[in-house]
Amino acid sequence: MRCLRCKNEDTRFFYNDQGIWYCRKCIAFGRVNVGDCVQPAILSKTKWRGDIKLQYPLTPHQKMCSELVIQYLKQGKSVFLYAATGAGKTEVSMGSIAYYLHQGKKVCFAISRRQVVLEIRDRLQEAFEDLDVIAVTQGYTEITDGDIIVCTTHQLYRYPQSFDLLILDEVDAFPYANDPLLKEIAKNSCKGEILLLSATPDLESLKAIQEKRMEMVNLFERPHKHPLIVPKIVHLPKIFQVVYILIFCLEMKKKEKQVLVFVPKKQDTYWLSSLFQLFIPCAGIHSSSEDKDSILDAFRKKKLYVLFSTTLLERGITIPSVQVLVYEAEHSVFTTASLIQIFGRIGRSFQDPTGIGVCLCQSTSPSINECISQIQAMNDTVYCATKE
Ligand SMILES: [Zn+2]
């Protein structure tokens, strides 16, 4: 017995309902009986004749990457776009989207997290202004078809064998990264090519690249051409880490600069922000904070100098001129992928392309070392490429 949707063959997950076997492994996405093919979703198709509208033209490096990706996709190959944080992977992927739309093919852009779906939808709508770009995620599920579909990876179950191009963004992020079921559902939604976007390639993709089942394109140069910030490691006992953070933040305040402090646990955001409030305007934020939008808004408007955050803000947030500290950086929540994203918050703007990043820890973890060597390798690649 085999479920044709999630490819499950484990008999423990098959249940019998009045003589009909069905799969319980992917039941959260609706019932599929054993042997039943899931019918492709019925979606609109139009041949697009427009052009992409970008706020800034692609840099020569971005253009080269964009063309290389399209070239591989044309050959029917899937591509891994290995992109440094802030290098413009969304903009680079737009050329591929346009290429498929010009041929009347169907494109989907899928991401792990809901708030990023909404943000990407807006950016794609701006670039493809004459098209109907729709978001499909929790709270936005009434309309499920458009010229371009942007959805969470969870929603891909709605589209079996539907897309000619499936772009999977943040493949290194929770929950997609460690959920085989989501990966199977994603694979099943694509009948053409897959374009993966990530700042940290996973072992599975590296294997596929090695075995030539997938091509890799490196996009390491940020548009302002400044290297990524390599974090400094500072070894201190916890209590002195707090003192270090306080002194650092007060110094940055004198320079009118803001600091993002990443902490491992929700409760750290409470006690640290209450303590620091005695010295400097600050706040704490985590996934269940009720007023996330207003806290972020206050930070963006520089009403707060310091923001304590869990890994909630590791991705998708761009604050110009922000410095980044990680408290208890050896904690297991700070994986290599997470740390690369965290320090990728620094130096994203043309006005202030540099900054400081510090890993505060009692001892260096393998993730910290791996993060530093991956960032250095990305910088070295750009430097060598320019030299050639
Ligand atoms: Zn199944």
pLDDT one-digit tens code per residue, 156-187: 999 999 999 999 998 888 888 889 999 999 99
Looking at the structure, do residues 239 and 381 belong to the same domain, yes or no? yes
Looking at the structure, do residues 139 and 105 belong to the same domain, yes or no? yes
The tally of domains found in the chain comes to: 3
CA 153 / ligand 1 centre spacing (Å): 16
Residue 224 within any structural domain of the chain = no
- On the 0-12 / 13-18 / 19+ scale of CB atoms within 10 A, 264 is middle
Amino acid code (one letter) for 63: K
CA 143 / ligand 1 centre spacing (Å): 25
Which is more confidently placed, 62 or 382?
62
Residue 51 within any structural domain of the chain = no
The predicted pLDDT at position 333 comes to: 96
- On the 0-12 / 13-18 / 19+ scale of CB atoms within 10 A, 354 is exposed
CA 201 / ligand 1 centre spacing (Å): 27
CA 380 / ligand 1 centre spacing (Å): 44
CA 178 / ligand 1 centre spacing (Å): 17
Locus of tokens 């990305």: 378
CA 122 / ligand 1 centre spacing (Å): 33
CA 177 / ligand 1 centre spacing (Å): 19
Instruction: Write the CB contacts of 61 (distance below 8 Å, at least 6 apart in sequence).
Output: 219, 221
**Which residues have beta carbons under 5 A from ligand 1 (an ion)?**
3, 5-6, 8, 23, 25-26
Looking at the structure, do residues 78 and 143 belong to the same domain, yes or no? yes
Looking at the structure, do residues 236 and 341 belong to the same domain, yes or no? yes
CA 350, CA 374: separation in Å to the nearest integer? 23
CA 23 / ligand 1 centre spacing (Å): 5
The predicted pLDDT at position 30 comes to: 85
CA 31 / ligand 1 centre spacing (Å): 8
E-strand stretches of 278-355: 282-285, 306-309, 322-326
Looking at the structure, do residues 106 and 193 belong to the same domain, yes or no? yes
The predicted pLDDT at position 384 comes to: 62
CA 111 / ligand 1 centre spacing (Å): 21
CA 34 / ligand 1 centre spacing (Å): 8
Which is more confidently placed, 37 or 91?
91
Looking at the structure, do residues 158 and 269 belong to the same domain, yes or no? no
Residue 43 within any structural domain of the chain = no
Q: In the structure, what pLDDT confidence band is assigned to residue 1 with cuts at 50, 70 and 90?
A: confident
CA 257 / ligand 1 centre spacing (Å): 51
Residue that is last in its domain, among 219, 241, 276:
219
Looking at the structure, do residues 240 and 372 belong to the same domain, yes or no? yes
Residue that is last in its domain, among 190, 219, 248:
219
CA 80 / ligand 1 centre spacing (Å): 27
pLDDT digits (tens, 9 = 90+) for 20-37: 999 999 998 888 888 887
Per the CB < 8 A criterion, the answer to whether 351 and 321 are in contact is yes
Looking at the structure, do residues 206 and 282 belong to the same domain, yes or no? no
CA 1 / ligand 1 centre spacing (Å): 11
Residue that is last in its domain, among 219, 242, 274:
219
Residue 344 within any structural domain of the chain = yes
Looking at the structure, do residues 272 and 358 belong to the same domain, yes or no? yes
Looking at the structure, do residues 29 and 158 belong to the same domain, yes or no? no
Residue 48 within any structural domain of the chain = no
Q: What is the pTM of this model?
A: 0.90
Distances (CA, A) of 321 to 129, 312, 329, 348: 31, 19, 22, 8
CA 7 / ligand 1 centre spacing (Å): 6
- Calculate mean pLDDT across residues 105-116: 93
Residue 54 within any structural domain of the chain = no
What residue numbers bound the domain in which 118 lies? 60-219
pLDDT digits (tens, 9 = 90+) for 130-158: 999 999 998 999 999 999 999 999 999 99
Looking at the structure, do residues 274 and 353 belong to the same domain, yes or no? yes
CA 8 / ligand 1 centre spacing (Å): 6
pLDDT digits (tens, 9 = 90+) for 185-217: 999 999 999 999 999 888 888 999 999 999 999
Residue 121 within any structural domain of the chain = yes
CA 35 / ligand 1 centre spacing (Å): 11
Q: In the structure, what pLDDT confidence band is assigned to residue 243 with cuts at 50, 70 and 90?
A: very high
Per the CB < 8 A criterion, the answer to whether 266 and 273 are in contact is no
Looking at the structure, do residues 142 and 288 belong to the same domain, yes or no? no
- Provide the CATH number for the domain around residue 259: 3.40.50.300
CA 90 / ligand 1 centre spacing (Å): 32
Residue 340 within any structural domain of the chain = yes
